Amino acid sequence: MSFLGNVIWLIFGGLLAGLGYILGGLLLCLTIVGIPFGLQSIRLGVATLTPFGKEVVPEENGTGVLRMVFNVIWILLFGWEIALAHLTGALLLAITIIGLPFARQHIKLIPVALFPFSFALR
C-alpha cells in the first residue's frame, strides 16, 4: 500500500516538491555558511519524495545548543514557509475523502520542516 501511495504522491506533486527541496539545498551548499542548512534541505527533499510508510522520529543526539541555534535560524529563514506550505497542502487535500491520506502525509512532514535538526523521517 505504501508503494502505491508513494507512486501517486510522486505523480501529483511530490516529485516537484522533493526536487525543489533538493535544488534549494544544493544552492545553499554553495556557501560555507549554508552547508548545514543545505544538507537538511536535501534530507527533507528525499523524505518528501516517499513519505508513505515512514514515520517522524526524534533525531539521535537531537538535543544540544548548536542544534537548537540551527533550528531557530532554520525556522526564521525557511521553516515557517515550508511548514505553512505543507499545512496549506494538507487543508486543500483534506477537502475530499480521496485526498485524506495525502493530507496526513503533509501533516506528518510539518515537524520535520520546522525542526529538521531535531526530527527525521524514517
- The domain total for the chain is 1
Residue 107's Cβ-side half-sphere holds a number of Cα atoms within 13 Å equal to 11
Q: What is the pLDDT of residues 25-34, one digit of tens each?
A: 999 999 999 9
**Residue ranges of E strands in 16-113:** 56-58
Residue 122, pLDDT > 90, answer no
The C-alpha atoms of residue 51 and residue 120 are separated, in whole angstroms, by 11
What residues contact 55, with CB distance under 8 A and at least 6 apart?
Answer: 108, 121, 122
Residue 12, pLDDT > 80, answer yes
Task: Write out the residue range of the structural domain in which residue 61 sits.
Answer: 2-121
Question: Could you tell me the three cell numbers for 28?
Answer: 545553499
